[in-house]
Structure 1
């Protein structure tokens, strides 16, 4: 029968901590939970803008929504964990469309465990009947990001086992 005996508790706890840290950090980046079908999107029209709220984070905005002076902010993070820094709508190709009338297709992220992201997430962007970001583009982007997260989670377990083994080898005294 196979048995597992912890040789050095500190090494074991460090290895498990590494695994848990990577697992949690990659899980919070997992995108698109509750991603809607295309016919379930909400649409808002206004003047397209870019909102820099934090360093390296950009949200899209629509001004003059419904003909009022109202501004609505949209994110491109697609994560249930809203930390205000998980959005990057600031791609350079938006710059040529700023201050033009645009329609954004969006959704609100579903709640996951205790986390809730109430910032509308951009799915489609249309300017002058030209599709800038399509539903398929967004879905492809989300799936690509999730593959990276899954790989990192799968990579974390062997890494933590290797670290445990390495710590036990380094800690042994040579005779």
Structure 2
């Protein structure tokens, strides 16, 4: 019983560290976000790619096809060390539709790797159509700040739930262990009862 208790504690600590530390650090948006002077710019024709992000949800991703090219470049907005399709969309379909097949200028950067996480997709920072700004550098910074504030609250809630869940499991394992020891003690010394 003691061995099982140790294994469960190790598993709980590992899971807790993963959920409370490693994953939030990797998904932290804006890590290594470049200064405005370090942004790359590309121009081309705006297209939209529709992709399913779950059983019942669809996202629309920005594709820019450079002049004299048949192949477009997809731009995403995860701003994190790993690419997760469900959170990588940039603008709603309604915001993109009026600008389809028009010439756009995209500001973007390449996300740096973190630990073993790698996001090789270009991250959209700004988007302008015929000189009209659809999303600016400052808009993206504000979005990242808002998303990180939400994530911070979620991570605290997850940590509290995990902490109390682990505490309850540990206490119940300790109680079960004491009961088993007491039963073994009573079996070995039946005269003490």
Matched residue, 1:145: 147
1:79 Cα deviation from its structure 2 partner: 1.4
CA deviation profile, 1:136-165 (whole Å, cap 9, x unmatched) = 110111111122223333333333231133
CA deviation profile, 1:9-29 (whole Å, cap 9, x unmatched) = 476456435523422443332
Number of residue-to-residue matches in the alignment: 166
Q: What is the distance in 2 between the residues matched to 1:34 and 1:128?
A: 29
Matched residue, 1:43: 41
Q: CA RMSD for the aligned pairs?
A: 2.5
Work out which of the residue numbers 99, 103, 106 in structure 1 matches 2:105. Answer: 103
Q: What is the distance in 2 between the residues matched to 1:11 and 1:71?
A: 49
TM-score with structure 2 setting the length: 0.73
Q: 5 Å matches for 1:149-164?
A: 149-164=151-166
User: Greater CA deviation, 32-41 or 76-85?
Assistant: 76-85
Work out which of the residue numbers 20, 25, 28 in structure 2 matches 1:27. Answer: 25
Specify every segment of 5 or more residues in structure 1 that has no aligned partner in the other structure, as ranges: 1-7
Answer whether contact 2:78 2:84 (CA < 8 A) is retained.
no
Please identify which structure carries the higher helix content.
2
Matched residue, 2:134: 132
Q: What is the distance in 1 between the residues matched to 2:127 and 2:171?
A: 55
Q: What is the distance in 1 between the residues matched to 2:96 and 2:36?
A: 22
Q: What is the distance in 1 between the residues matched to 2:6 and 2:166?
A: 10
Q: Which has the larger radius of gyration?
A: 2
Q: What is the distance in 2 between the residues matched to 1:118 and 1:164?
A: 36
Q: What is the distance in 2 between the residues matched to 1:83 and 1:114?
A: 15
1:30 Cα deviation from its structure 2 partner: 1.3
User: Greater CA deviation, 134-143 or 155-164?
Assistant: 155-164
| More relative contact order, 1 or 2 (CA 8 Å, 6+ apart) | 1
1:68 Cα deviation from its structure 2 partner: 2.9
